[in-house]
Amino acid sequence: MRLDNKARQADVGIDAQASANQCFFLRCPVTHLRSKGSVMNETFEAFQARKLAEGHDEVLVREWAPDFANEPHTHPFDTEALVAQGEFWLTRDGQTTHYKQGDTFTVARGVMHCERYGPAGAVFWAARKN
């Protein structure tokens, strides 16, 4: 099932599918590299607590449908995120980067970007600064 851009943009927080899969998305740890190169194995709760302590305003679970692609857009907030499941391609400043489970990425407020998700969709944990 493909969801249109408006439906995806309206999706905030944990949706019904993410709630149904809470074990994987929230309780099971995701191994990833931190910015200084150390490996972390962290649950959503630990990620959320760390990002709130770092000064982020909110931390969300974002789930994206298989093969979903959106139009170029901006956000009125900074985002630091961790891919918890799946893969996607983020295009910004004319450069496309492929992200997979365990990868982290940032998108600064006001930066034009678009995403394309893989055949399994993707889930990421997004920390926002408004």
pLDDT at 74: 96
All structural domains of the chain, each given as residue ranges with its CATH number in brackets, are 5-129 (2.60.120.10)
| Residue 41, pLDDT score | 79
Phi/psi at 114 (5° precision):
-150, 160
Q: What is the pLDDT of residue 33?
A: 52
> What pLDDT score does 31 carry?
57
Token pair in block for residue 40: 């972390």
pTM for the whole thing?
Answer: 0.73
User: Please, what are the averages of pLDDT over each run of 10 residues along the chain (130 residues)?
Assistant: 38 37 47 52 90 97 95 96 94 94 94 96 95
Q: What is the pLDDT of residue 96?
A: 96
**Exposure on the CB side of residue 8, measured as CA atoms within 13 A:** 23
Q: Which of 69, 62, 107, 105 is nearest to 85 (CA)?
A: 62
CB atoms within 10 A of CB 124: 24
Q: Which of 101, 53, 57 is nearest to 79 (CA)?
A: 57
87: Cβ contacts below 8 Å, ≥ 6 apart: 98, 99, 100, 101, 117, 118, 120, 122
User: Which of 107, 96, 105 is CA-nearest to residue 73?
Assistant: 107
pLDDT at 70: 94
